[in-house]
Structure 1
Amino acid sequence: MRHRHRARRGRALLGGLTAAGLLVSLSFSNGFAVESAAATYAKRQGVRLLDTLTVPAGTTEFGMPFGGLSGIDYDPASGTYTALSDDRSENGKARFYTLQLPLDGAEFADDKPALDGLTVLDDANGRPFAPKAVDPEAIRRMPNGKSLLWTSEGASSSGQPAFVREATTSGGYVRELPLPKPYAPVRSASGTLTAGVRNNQALEGLTLSPDGDKVITVTENALVQDGPAAGLTTKSPSRLLVMDRRTGKPEAEHVYEVDPISDAPTAPLPPPVGTYAADRGVSEILAINNTDYLTVERSFASGVGFAIRLYWTSTRGATDVSGKEALSGSEKPMRKKLLYDFTASGTDADNVEGITWGPRLPDGSRSLVLVADDNFGFNGSVTKFHLLSVRSGLSRVQP
């Protein structure tokens, strides 16, 4: 059964942070010179954090926890957002929300999102997903407005593959866009993962080209056979995959290098985990044009927290690795440049996993809306929506 509910709109105490004009120094990913003046950075990059809206921990809507938001997409025609929960059908059903985040000038107009509806996602058999049978991560509306695309990371540890699927706006299964063979998890007789996407480091990112003809996804970290996961001193060669939206056929693949983990852990995670943990990966991607993208890299260290950075990157000049079972290490990766660093701006961004273009701002600049996953309250995370502005001509940014 599919569920769509209407939510009353109202107000609650805003627990968010607001920061305008707090910009960070520019550093190139290849380690070249750093400009320390925030004013120079602002002039050259034009990315600003305008406002943050925080949803109180433990918020429940439509009988399910309002949390786990890992993907978000804006529909300019209706002014509404679609937000995907990464609930593995454990706290509630696998689902997405429709909501509004109206603006008042260059800030959020209200102190909480206006929730319009909740839609339960169906599996390929037309039923809600069983517990732990899916791990939703990213979502985008299709150009026709009648369906949407979404990803699941799967669970490589148990042989559950990642996928990209199309669904109706009411949550019904339409089709699956098959991933190339190198993405499929392969395990040895002893149970060791020898190839494919890493467990919990698969398809976090999904976007459509501006014309809607291409589907682009990126792995959070490298495929097992391609290289290591990101470490404190080690980059990870993720794969960006371009597919034809209509046929689902792969058209190109490129290497995107994830930067090393920002911090070492200083304390264990809370029970029941109780271990030290640190990682870094691509948590979302957003198309600027047919070759250039924005990426969100999320770094985490227990005892320290999250470090969130926004990058420009491009496939121009990068090696096409289509058809390669494994990378050789000689491939030319995508160029990238740091655009915004939440930590350096003094903002606790929390677990940012979604990004979308938002409405135009009064000064003519384009807005970005980012959402942070609250992990359903684990380790103190809360749901946050961040509003950023970006100058025009972002596609011309180059290192």
Structure 2
Amino acid sequence: MPQPQGPRPHHRRAAAAGSLVLAVLCLGGGPATAAPTAERPARGADGGHRPDVRLLDTITVPVGTVLDGVPFGGVSGIDYDPRSGRYVALSGDRSEPAPARLHVLRLPLDAKGFAVRTPQPAGSTVLSGPDGKPLPRRTVDPEAIRWAPGGKGLLWAGEGDAAAGLPPFVREAAPDGGHRRELPLPAAYRPVLGADGTPVSGVRARQAFEGLTLSLDGSKVVTLTEGSLVQDGPAPTAAAGSRSRLLVQGRADGRPLGEFVYPLGPPTDAGPVPAGTRRGASEILAVNETDYLVVERTAKSGTDFGIRIWWTTTVGATDVNGRAALAGSERVMPKRLLFDFATAGVAPDNVEGLTWGPRLADGSRSLVLVSDDSAGAFGSPGTAFHLLAVRPGLLAVHSPDVDHDGCVDRADLRRLLRSGRAGDLNGDGRTDGRDIRLWGSYGRTFPFPRGD
């Protein structure tokens, strides 16, 4: 391909559309509240009226269902392996009523949604601890799971028990559930209790590693806390938000590679907010090198949940890697509302798992979500699986930050057409005007303010 010195003539219009906003995306310092949070649906490159995200189907597995001879329920994480077409679902019931375990499932699709009304079991596995034995009752709180590259193992996260001083963790397991290793945990996350048992620093009880994802190349592990660390500020409440930490680590050695602040907003549902309402980030899923989807959960009661999916990015956010405590002046990750179950007419229940599924017949990307039924303890009817369709051309499979300098600006546009695979933002195997339009739409999705 020729080496152009800038946008070709027939691309100038598309480039100009994005440059007005995107030229200011290199962000400087500024208060954490300066990053935008947009609650209107994101619009993609085509500018049409097709919904960005649609709910296609929901199936529910009743409380008390037994698969492969073990109870099925309490599911807190899910992941899809495109090579085998299988899903792995993690039970988060703290090794009760059965040992901490995972289920391998099949959920075939047809033109209307799920092709089955109950997942097809393909095996279950008990997770082992470092001693090779099943994990004892109440010593672990499994929350998220991902296949290792090639389906040759599993990465899973546990919250630990901050009230007892037990730290959260990310562990790698063999396909049979056997323990392989545990990634090192940065000191800031370790729960520290005062003499009276009051938390001094580290993760809060039941607000630790709820979200886990891998980079698309499998080289990085990314975790997200459900709420703020003790030293970073108060926990989220019905009236106020919080600041979660997104941590990027090398999968091979656990070395911290980056850390960013995710702004967890307060509940914004219409009408009065009941006392005791809680909000937290319950899952994260990688979109490309810089962008993620985050599930935010508003719990009004044991069966009344508000579930929203946000599109967020580390582009322009302050890297707080290694900071023992946040100062409050960090620029947080901007985010845009992608889907709200309140608009779908379906009660989502307690959604805790999110994964990409297979590509749909119309070219849309599928998202599969799963809820935690808490073994029916709070009146949940069962484990819900939701199938969403994401419009083609909405999300870039490679970051618009083409040159990986932490901002999106005209330098990325100049490099896009000659950057090879990195410039193929829409993933169609070539770099052309469609990618320039997608690059331009990024600025409309994240209308960053000018830095100080």
More strand by share: 1
Q: What's the CA shift string for 1:77-131, capped at 9, x where partnerless?
A: 1111000000211110100000000011241001110011110000010000110
Residues 189-338 of structure 1: matches in 2 within 5 Å?
189-262=195-268, 266=274, 277-302=276-301, 305-338=304-337
Corresponding residue to 2:104 among 88, 98, 101: 98
**Aligned match of 1:369:** 368
2:61 is the alignment partner of 1:62: no
Query: What is the aligned length?
Result: 361
Structure 1 residue 235: Cα displacement: 1.4
Counterpart amino acid of 1:364? G
The SS at the match of 1:376 is: helix
TM-score normalised to structure 1 length: 0.86
- What RMSD over aligned residues (CA atoms) do the two structures have, in Å? 2.2
Separation (CA, whole Å) in 2 of partners of 1:377 and 1:84? 17
Counterpart amino acid of 2:105? L
Separation (CA, whole Å) in 2 of partners of 1:198 and 1:179? 15
Q: What's the CA shift string for 1:150-189, capped at 9, x where partnerless?
A: 0000110111110000000000110001111000000000
Separation (CA, whole Å) in 2 of partners of 1:104 and 1:177? 39
Separation (CA, whole Å) in 2 of partners of 1:104 and 1:138? 27
Separation (CA, whole Å) in 2 of partners of 1:296 and 1:227? 21
Counterpart amino acid of 2:389? S
**Aligned match of 1:389:** 389
After superposition, the Cα gap between the structure-2 partners of 1:384 and 1:131, relative to the gap in structure 1 and judged at 3 Å, is: same
Structure 1 residue 343: Cα displacement: 1.5
**Aligned match of 1:8:** none
Q: What's the CA shift string for 1:231-260, capped at 9, x where partnerless?
A: 122111100000011111110000001111
Counterpart amino acid of 2:148? M
Q: Is the 8 A contact 2:203 2:229 kept in 1?
A: yes
After superposition, the Cα gap between the structure-2 partners of 1:68 and 1:219, relative to the gap in structure 1 and judged at 3 Å, is: same
Separation (CA, whole Å) in 1 of partners of 2:332 and 2:369? 26
Bigger relative contact order, structure 1 or 2 (CA pairs below 8 A, ≥6 apart): 2
Q: Is the 8 A contact 1:242 1:253 kept in 2?
A: yes
Q: What's the CA shift string for 1:313-339, capped at 9, x where partnerless?
A: 000000000111000100000010000
**Aligned match of 1:20:** none
Separation (CA, whole Å) in 1 of partners of 2:349 and 2:48? 23
The SS at the match of 1:356 is: strand
Separation (CA, whole Å) in 2 of partners of 1:58 and 1:265? 32
Q: Is the 8 A contact 2:146 2:156 kept in 1?
A: yes
2:61 is the alignment partner of 1:86: no
**Aligned match of 2:32:** none
**Aligned match of 1:272:** none
Structure 1 residue 33: Cα displacement: 7.9
Structure 1 residue 344: Cα displacement: 2.6
Corresponding residue to 2:144 among 110, 119, 138: 138
Separation (CA, whole Å) in 2 of partners of 1:138 and 1:33? 26
**Aligned match of 1:12:** none
Q: What's the CA shift string for 1:265-298, capped at 9, x where partnerless?
A: 64xxxxxxxxx63211111000000100001001
Corresponding residue to 1:181 among 172, 184, 187: 187
Counterpart amino acid of 2:110? D
Counterpart amino acid of 1:125? D
**Aligned match of 2:77:** 71
The SS at the match of 2:375 is: helix
The SS at the match of 2:378 is: helix
State, as a whole percentage, how many aligned pairs show the same letter: 56
Separation (CA, whole Å) in 2 of partners of 1:44 and 1:105? 18
Q: Is the 8 A contact 1:265 1:302 kept in 2?
A: no
2:339 is the alignment partner of 1:340: yes
Separation (CA, whole Å) in 2 of partners of 1:383 and 1:117? 18
Separation (CA, whole Å) in 2 of partners of 1:50 and 1:126? 42
Instruction: Extract structure 1 runs of 4+ deviating beyond 6 A.
Output: none
Separation (CA, whole Å) in 1 of partners of 2:330 and 2:348? 33
TM-score normalised to structure 2 length: 0.76
After superposition, the Cα gap between the structure-2 partners of 1:53 and 1:303, relative to the gap in structure 1 and judged at 3 Å, is: closer
Q: What's the CA shift string for 1:5-42, capped at 9, x where partnerless?
A: xxxxxxxxxxxxxxxxxxxxxxxx946685899xx998
**Aligned match of 1:155:** 161
After superposition, the Cα gap between the structure-2 partners of 1:278 and 1:102, relative to the gap in structure 1 and judged at 3 Å, is: same
Q: Is the 8 A contact 1:140 1:149 kept in 2?
A: yes
Q: Is the 8 A contact 2:37 2:334 kept in 1?
A: no
Separation (CA, whole Å) in 2 of partners of 1:337 and 1:51? 24
Consecutive unaligned residues in structure 2, runs of 5 or more = 1-34, 397-437, 447-452
Q: Is the 8 A contact 2:42 2:336 kept in 1?
A: no
After superposition, the Cα gap between the structure-2 partners of 1:34 and 1:191, relative to the gap in structure 1 and judged at 3 Å, is: same
**Aligned match of 1:21:** none
Separation (CA, whole Å) in 1 of partners of 2:196 and 2:111? 58
Separation (CA, whole Å) in 1 of partners of 2:128 and 2:157? 13
Separation (CA, whole Å) in 1 of partners of 2:70 and 2:273? 32
Q: Is the 8 A contact 1:106 1:362 kept in 2?
A: no
Q: What's the CA shift string for 1:177-224, capped at 9, x where partnerless?
A: 111100000000010011101100110100011111111010000001
Consecutive unaligned residues in structure 1, runs of 5 or more = 1-28, 267-275
Separation (CA, whole Å) in 1 of partners of 2:361 and 2:86? 19
Separation (CA, whole Å) in 2 of partners of 1:198 and 1:53? 33
Corresponding residue to 1:170 among 168, 171, 176: 176
The SS at the match of 2:149 is: coil
Counterpart amino acid of 1:126? G
After superposition, the Cα gap between the structure-2 partners of 1:239 and 1:46, relative to the gap in structure 1 and judged at 3 Å, is: same
The SS at the match of 2:376 is: helix
Structure 1 residue 347: Cα displacement: 1.4
